[in-house]
Amino acid sequence: MPISRYTMADISVRKELPDLEKVFAKYDTDKDGTVNTSELLKMCEDLEQPATEDEVDFVIEQFDANGDGKLDYSEFVGLMQMLRRGME
């Protein structure tokens, strides 16, 4: 049986965690330790995945574990893991 693709993805995400920290810091433009709707909108633009505010709100809702309407770093990592799997 081949190694699970999810296992491979988890390994590559873990290796890239330092980079994710940089990405998070780059888009947390007001440096409050969370990424809000407008900050995530900017990231989508830069990734050439333009999204509407409603779409970004929806994405935040999916990953907003503590329900504050914004993504902190651990929630953001969950989003990035999902994106990575979606792109495979």
If binding is defined by CB under 5 A, does position 77 make contact with Ca ion? no
| Long-range pairs of 76-81 with CB within 8 A, sequence gap ≥ 24 | 76/20, 76/24, 76/35, 77/13, 77/17, 77/20, 80/13, 80/20, 80/23, 81/9, 81/10, 81/13
Judged by beta carbon, residue 9 or residue 42, the one nearer Ca ion is 42
Q: Which two tokens stand for residue 25?
A: 């810091």
- Nearer of residues 12 and 69 to Ca ion, judged by Cβ: 69
- Can residue 46 be called a binding residue for Ca ion (CB under 5 A)? no
Q: Does position 68 bind Ca ion by CB under 5 A?
A: yes
Q: Does 28 bind Ca ion (CB under 5 A)?
A: yes
CB-wise, 19 or 61, nearer to Ca ion? 61
Stretch that binds Ca ion, among 3-11, 28-36, 40-48, 77-85 (CB under 5 A): 28-36
Q: Retrieve residue 65's tokens.
A: 């574990």
11 strand-pairing partners: none
Contact footprint for Ca ion (CB under 5 A): 28, 30, 32, 64, 66, 68, 75
